[in-house]
Amino acid sequence: MSSHQHINARQISSETFKNEEPPAKRRQLSSCDDGESQHLRRLPLRAAVVEEGQSPSTTDELTVQSGKSLTGEEITCNNNNNNNIEAVDFSVVSADGTDDRTSKDYYFDSYAHHAIHEEMLKDEVRTKTYEMAIMQNKYLFQDKIILDVGCGTGILSMFAAQAGAKHVYAVDCSSIADQARQIVELNGFSDKITVIKGKIEEIDLPVAEVDVIVSEWMGYFLLYESMLDSIIFARDKWLVKENGIVFPDKAVMYVCAAEDGDVKRDRVDFWSNVYGFDMSPIRNIALKEPVVDVIDGKSIVTDATPILHLDILTCKKEDVEFEASFELKALRNDYVHGLVAYFECAFTQVHKPIGFSTSPFCRYTHWKQTIFYLPESLVTCTGETIAGEIKCKPNKKNRRDLDISITLSVNGRHSKFTKQMNYRLR
């Protein structure tokens, strides 16, 4: 990969966010208030911004606000208007009323519902970043064999075919593969794309090796219901040993702390007094379930620090189980009601690295952020630190669920707190 030129980044002004219409959610996306954001570490990243009416090759430059840079390069932090996205119930019912399927059947069948693919396709940060990563680096795809793991509707496979791939093998375990096959034919790619329905671990490819693996494998909290195990399996079995490419190839997860009292009262403390009745046993359950939602960037009261680095070319299945210590520095005097996790992904095996962030300071993505509410509020003063340790591992009964343990220690002017909290993301 060629050396990268220094890139001057422009700051995001507060005006960028003010007029943005949020998705169909209960909270506004943040304005990037200069008075607060100046305290955050700014990343020297060049972000790929696609304005309406521009081609995918058009880029703009801006500054992402979060922890340390994932690659020191290009991260998408778009602040354009986004379409409204409704929450959908993906219940699966057999035609004859019977149901003898396993939890895995339910998981894969949920991805057959068109609404979940609509949500992902309408996530322009996600989809346009993949499009630019592929179309701006056609030399990596020209006359190459491509494997698309978890192809869904086939959008990434068609990008690869447009980029000049010799052939694309698109694999998906859910019945969306049937529609993907029709979509491929409808768009004239039947001679370039072969759709295979089945688990990547169980199928046979008609080739011994592939040059590039593309996949959108990330889940909430990066790892929840993610296909990382499947990507690693495909990489080890089919990816060429020399100069093999995985799109994307880098991911980093961050944690920070937030003031979010209104939502905590609505989601958690509500159970302490329900029409005059004490339902606190349910409050204890609610506390143990992280909330996946959009949080306002103005609610973030500390800096952010990385807790997990993944190199998809070299990582192992065991890396899904991780432990990390962290230290957060308070940026202002405020309450802390919970910790917030988000992630960044990057395509670095290209001439001009590109990526995106799910930071609260960046444009909405369907991954949102993951919020871990604390059993009691903390009070922090500017400059004080929150020390912590996080442990994450797949649940023993269902590997797609995550058991997460967080230990926090605060020795501040107003709060002295040492406690371990256990959560399950499911």
As a whole number of angstroms, the distance between CA 212 and CA 149 comes to: 11
Report the amino acid identity of residue 228. Answer: L
Tell me the β-bridge partners of 254.
306, 342
**What is the SS3 assignment for 228?**
helix
Q: Cα angle at 83 between 79 and 87, to 5 degrees?
A: 120
Q: Is 323 a catalytic residue?
A: no
As a whole number of angstroms, the distance between CA 92 and CA 109 comes to: 7
Only one residue has tokens 């219409």, namely 21
As a whole number of angstroms, the distance between CA 83 and CA 406 comes to: 35
Cα distance from N-terminal residue to C-terminal residue, the chain: 39
| Annotated active-site residue in 73, 225, 344, 384 | 225
| CB distance 426 to 285 below 8 Å | no
| Annotated active-site residue in 216, 259, 344, 384 | 216
As a whole number of angstroms, the distance between CA 323 and CA 405 comes to: 9
Report the amino acid identity of residue 348. Answer: T
Report the amino acid identity of residue 286. Answer: A
Q: Are strands 64-65 and 250-258 parallel, antiparallel or unpaired?
A: unpaired
Q: Tokens standing for 37? A: 């954001």
Tell me the β-bridge partners of 267.
none
Is the bond preceding 375 in cis, omega lying within 30 degrees of 0? Answer: no
Q: Is 225 a catalytic residue?
A: yes
**Contacts for 299 with CB less than 8 Å, ≥ 6 apart:** 30, 258, 259, 260, 360
- What residues are annotated to the active site? 216, 225
